[in-house]
Amino acid sequence: MEQVAVGWLILELTGSPFMVGVAAAARMAPFFFLGIFSGAIADWLDRRTLLWFSTLGGILVSLGMAIMLLSGATHVWAIISLVAASGCVFAFVLTTRQAYTVDIVGQQNSLNGLSLGAIAMQVGGVVGSILSGALIHTVGPGWQYVVIGIAYGVSAAVLLGASRTGHVNSHGREPVMANLTGYLHIMGSNRTLLTLMMLASITEVFGFTHMTLLPVFAKEVLGVGAIGLGFMTAVRQGGALIGLLLLANLRNFQSKGLLMFGIAFGFGAGMMLFYLASNLIVFLFVLAVVNACAMAVDTLYKTLMQENVSEEQRGRAMGSWVFSIGVAPVGHVGVGGLAAILGAPSALLVNGAVLSIVSLATMIGFPRIRRLP
């Protein structure tokens, strides 16, 4: 719901694809600055408790946005500031949720557990996207943020019934400063983790930033309005759901590295097809395929990161993933600027070509990563 609301609201206020990219960048920038710190905290505190307090932060930010919009204060930079605050909350939520999931299912079931957790997000995303478009159209984005705050509240209530501790989180925890220092050792000694971080960053910059331009496609290319944007976002989430369901059924798949590169290449190739998607039906089909690849490859990155560190470092591994995707502001601003110059379809053609080429070249040049089980 937040993704739909922010993109549409900024486009309505400014009419600028570039400013839509700036808003998306503001939401992702905290991932870069807080990724490492959130990982250190997640390896120190009880993860269930940390996730609960992070969710409470989401309630406060959402209600703050609702009060501002309902009062008529729609200054674009004030909105972007609250979007950045939401990104700070989500940095901790993402890091802690991934590590806590593996606490629950065990490292041997990490691919399945992370896939199922992502499936739950996508199911909520499908419902939320359709609801978001309808709410914007009928009552406006202010009341939509009230609903977002309520959704965070339901999440906080659900967490109260979750298991308090995981497999390793209850013993042997180092202080936060020791965890932060440990990052330097991990980066220097674990080349596999470092390579996966770089791949995640490249995929985020050139792949996931296609979501920034959905409001532009909805309003200026396809002319389907806010309700259409909600359905487009729902199809995106539905495509991701299909990719995750296929991934979850692989069980303990033993060629994850090769699969990761193949899906990343398909991700880029699918984005190039947006250039040819001149009508809504074709666009929605391509959107579903692209996001099936997007969520599958992202889950593989997270799985391989957790499988290639020790048990006590898994929070920091997920902090490393959040740090990696924190470079997204570069991609969001870049694709917004490129769309302002070339148009949205051409911008995604360029980004998709870069992602496919980099994925293919890395697969050939890094056989050690390609052979990861």
Whether residue 220 is predicted with pLDDT greater than 80 in this model: the reply is yes
- pLDDT value for 59: 94
- pLDDT value for 107: 74
The answer to whether the Cα torsion of 246, 344, 302, 4 is positive or negative is negative
Q: Which of 101-115, 213-227, 312-326, 357-371 has the highest mean pLDDT?
A: 357-371
What is the model's pTM?
0.73
- pLDDT value for 134: 84
Whether residue 228 is predicted with pLDDT greater than 90 in this model: the reply is no
Q: What is the mean pLDDT of residues 201-218?
A: 90
The answer to whether the Cα torsion of 171, 175, 179, 185 is positive or negative is negative
Burial of 251 (0-12, 13-18, 19+ CB in 10 A): exposed
Whether residue 168 is predicted with pLDDT greater than 60 in this model: the reply is no
CATH class of the domain at 2-370: mainly alpha
Whether residue 175 is predicted with pLDDT greater than 80 in this model: the reply is no
Whether residue 195 is predicted with pLDDT greater than 80 in this model: the reply is yes
Whether residue 356 is predicted with pLDDT greater than 50 in this model: the reply is yes
Q: What is the mean pLDDT of residues 55-59?
A: 93
Whether residue 170 is predicted with pLDDT greater than 70 in this model: the reply is no
Q: What is the mean pLDDT of residues 17-42?
A: 83
Residues in the chain: 373
- pLDDT value for 183: 65
Give the model's confidence band at 110: pLDDT under 50 very low, under 70 low, under 90 confident, else very high.
confident
Residues 242-294 have pLDDT tens digits of 998 888 787 667 788 999 999 999 999 999 999 988 788 999 999 999 999 99
Whether residue 24 is predicted with pLDDT greater than 50 in this model: the reply is yes
- pLDDT value for 145: 92
Helical residues (DSSP H) of the chain, grouped into ranges: 2-14, 17-42, 47-70, 76-105, 110-138, 141-159, 176-189, 191-206, 214-216, 225-248, 256-272, 280-307, 314-325, 328-342, 344-365, 367-370
Burial of 18 (0-12, 13-18, 19+ CB in 10 A): middle
- pLDDT value for 82: 92
Give the model's confidence band at 169: pLDDT under 50 very low, under 70 low, under 90 confident, else very high.
very low
Whether residue 164 is predicted with pLDDT greater than 70 in this model: the reply is no
- pLDDT value for 351: 96
d(CA 101, CA 104): 5
Whether residue 173 is predicted with pLDDT greater than 80 in this model: the reply is no
d(CA 15, CA 7): 11
Q: What is the mean pLDDT of the chain?
A: 86
Residues 137-162 have pLDDT tens digits of 888 888 989 999 999 999 999 988 87
% of residues, the chain, pLDDT over 70: 93
